Amino acid sequence: MREISFEVYEDQLLREKYYKYTHPSGLDIYVFPKKLSSTYAVIGTHYGSIDNSFRIKGEKNITTVPDGIAHFLEHKLFANEDGSDAFEHFSAIGADANAYTSFNKTAYLFSCTDNFEEALGELIDFVSHPYFTEESVERERGIIAQEIKMYDDSPAEVCYYGMLEGLYKKHSVKRNICGSCRSISKITPELLYECYRVFYEPSNMALVVCGDLDAREVVAIADAHLPSKESGVEIVRISENDLESAAVATPRVEKRMKVSKPIFNIGIKDIDIPSDPIERLRKDAAMSILNEMLFARAGELYSELFEGGLVSPEMSYCYTINPSFAFNSIAGEADDPKAVLKRIREYLTEKAEKGLSHEDFERGKRVMYAEFVKEFDSTEEIANNMLSFIFDGADIFRYAEIISEVSFEEVKALFSRSFKEEFFTMSVVRPLDSEA
């Protein structure tokens, strides 16, 4: 086995560490030793549904591709040239494989208890060898069209994307990750190969493995399945955040579907996105603490809404931040979504007048830290979280430090500028026979 030099990242407080190695192909390999019963591996490319316009560094021409092509490519990579399916190969060796496409990444993964070496080789091989024909693309188009129609029939999905449509005027995050039946009709084998060539360059990808493993053994397996040098392709992504104003596209989006009770998704737009990854991570931590202070089930707002019969118990909240978009969302079920939005905005005004509670701040920090630490009990959570941090240019261990560093003054300043009237939109899906 050749000599390998690893970067070692360690957190004394968490008592965890991982190893990083940059392969000659350009692929960054991360190994997180964890003595748990299952091993989890994920290889991802920093390429998602929002990456529809790009150019190669050194070239002038900008390429724009149809919506849904990243997700289409995810589907097609599982098909091998010999007619077999990668899922079948994983199943035959007792590994459970899957894949997903998000706004900013595509990931291919498996978990297993045995046959790790064979499973990892299979993972790298099928992701590294695309094979598309006119016939196979046309066949897949029909499968994905059915998937799109399924999402179009899902009230929760319709409500969520309605919120994004309300928030954004231009940004492609407002469009479904799968694309539309119309957009996928324009996808060809040539376009798939071009997107693969650009975005599946190993230097734009990362492999994360978590389990009871030796880092050198993981690299040795990767060596047998990866190219020996980089291709040198560099991507210039066309950012769409500059096209957005602070104000939402529209304050209200309503649709009617087969639901027994109205569902809602309140979106709060945020275009103040730090360009530095660490500052972005810090804002994520501060906003997450602030959300816990304002909207947690242990808080006064949720208690008032629930006990007053305004919302069902499942009301949820989340902050999402990416280099090119960010927003808060609050989702739930209510007989009168307008009344819920009205009360939330009144509550935020009251908080602005009275001031935030330092006790709530300390509780929020404890909750956020506890939730973060809990995720280290799962190989799946560790690997997928690491992949997200990697593609955002950050270190997973740094997040724990940042949570502890966030100050009450910082959160108060964030609160003062984050909930202005023009930042709000509400998406509602009402029953077909509703009179509202």
Q: Which residues are bridge partners to 383 per DSSP? A: none
DSSP 8-state code for residue 234: -
Torsion sign, CA atoms 157, 160, 162, 167? negative
User: Given the structure tokens 């084998």, which residue do they identify?
Assistant: 189
Work out the angle at residue 208's Cα, subtended by the Cα atoms of residues 202 and 212, and round it to the nearest 5 degrees. Answer: 145
Q: Is 74 a catalytic residue?
A: yes
Report yes or no: 286 and 411 within 8 Å, Cβ to Cβ: yes
Residues contacting 261, CB < 8 A, separation 6+: 312, 333, 334, 335, 431
Structure tokens that stand for 425 in this block: 């939109």
Radius of gyration of the chain (CA): 23
Phi-psi region of 309 (alpha: psi -120 to 50; beta: other; left: phi over 0): left
DSSP 8-state code for residue 173: G
Torsion sign, CA atoms 175, 180, 182, 184? positive
Q: Identify the active-site residue in 10, 59, 74, 138.
A: 74
Q: How many CB atoms lie within 10 A of CB 100?
A: 16
Report yes or no: 315 and 302 within 8 Å, Cβ to Cβ: yes
Cα–Cα distance measured from residue 306 to residue 344, given in angstroms and rounded to the nearest whole number: 12
Q: How far apart are the first and last CA of the chain?
A: 70
Q: How many CB atoms lie within 10 A of CB 276?
A: 10
If DSSP codes are grouped into helix, strand and coil, which group holds residue 9?
Answer: strand
Residues contacting 404, CB < 8 A, separation 6+: 365, 369
Q: Which residues are bridge partners to 322 per DSSP? A: 325
Residues designated catalytic? 74
